[in-house]
A = this chain, B = another copy of it.
Amino acid sequence: MQNGSRNFTEQSIVIVGVGLIGGSIAAAVRKRFPECKVIGIGRNRERLKRATERGLLTDWSEQMTSATIPHGSLGIVCLPVNQISIAVRQLADAGCELVTDAGSVKGCVYAALDDASRGRFIGSHPIAGSEHTGFENSDADLFVDRMCVVTPVNATRIDTDRIVTFWKSIGSAVQQMSPDEHDRVLALTSHLPHIVAAVLSGCVEAELLPFTGTGFRDTTRIAAGSASLWGPILLGNATHCVESIDAAERLLQKFREAINTGDGPTLESLLEVSAQRRRTL
């Protein structure tokens, strides 16, 4: 039994946005708690129907209303960062008891809520994903042994426990942070890598691509991600992203100085610190 799953008491969850993450949450719940209703909300009825036929959803709707959301439901918004706060407000207005999300930035979501919806919201960020998209690539075990950051702000202990239990029930480890602390950490661990991968990819003209090897491929893989998804993430975490860029700049200048002056000991020491850290992963 998954850690925490004995405490799982959800009768129904409402997933707004049934893509890779939303579909994987649905699959994770359906696999472990088949008695729990899983209602999908989205704009494309054909895709919602197919997700239902596939067994990911027990029901679906294009509307967020009190008619489509069972009493006591937990809402989970799995939309791009710039669409989360609107959906949270709609779910709260429609009577969802408690709402969370799966977005990569937290502060900007809280900031865009009104007081009423903020009182029903506890942000989450499951650090899990895939280069694939769409519910067709759903994985019921996507969150197993992955970290999920939960960011309660003035939330009750009961509500916080409910969200923590939910993520543990589908296999995640959970760490609580403030939204700002989350955003500061993820700027370094996720958003900066995306920016830097894009810079590397952008520095290599197309005619030089035949002279790249596995190192370039690994290092730039995430740069192929959707610009329309990543733009709002980076802008939603602008302050911390700029701080992380400046930190990277300072370290890059140390490498440049060591290389430019032929300072082998300093260069190897810089490389060794980074290598040791990476090897601990």
Contact = CB atoms under 8 A, between A and B. Distances in A.
Interface of A: 127-130, 146-147, 149, 173, 175, 185-186, 188-190, 192-204, 206, 208-228, 230-232, 234-235, 238, 241-242, 244-249, 251-252, 255-256, 259-260, 262, 264, 267-275, 277-281
Contact of A255 (B195, B259, B275): B195
Given A228-B268, A256-B242, A267-B235, A278 B220 contact: yes
Given A127-B211, A128-B213, A208-B189, A231 B268 contact: yes
A138 B173 CA distance: 39
Contact of A235 (B226, B262, B279): B262
29 contacts: A129-B214, A149-B211, A173-B210, A189-B211, A189-B216, A190-B212, A190-B215, A193-B219, A193-B220, A195-B252, A196-B219, A197-B274, A198-B275, A199-B252, A202-B274, A202-B277, A203-B248, A204-B277, A209-B281, A218-B218, A218-B219, A218-B222, A219-B220, A224-B275, A231-B264, A231-B268, A234-B255, A235-B264, A248-B252
Contact of A259 (B147, B222, B235, B249): B235
Given A189-B208, A202-B251, A223-B274, 14 more contacts: A127-B213, A129-B215, A186-B211, A189-B213, A190-B216, A193-B215, A199-B251, A199-B274, A201-B278, A203-B251, A217-B281, A231-B264, A231-B268, A235-B262
A203 B275 contact: no
A55 B198 CA distance: 44
A274 B211 contact: no
A206 B280 contact: yes
> How many of these chains are in the complex?
2
A149 to B, nearest CB: 7
Contact of A245 (B130, B231, B255, B264): B255
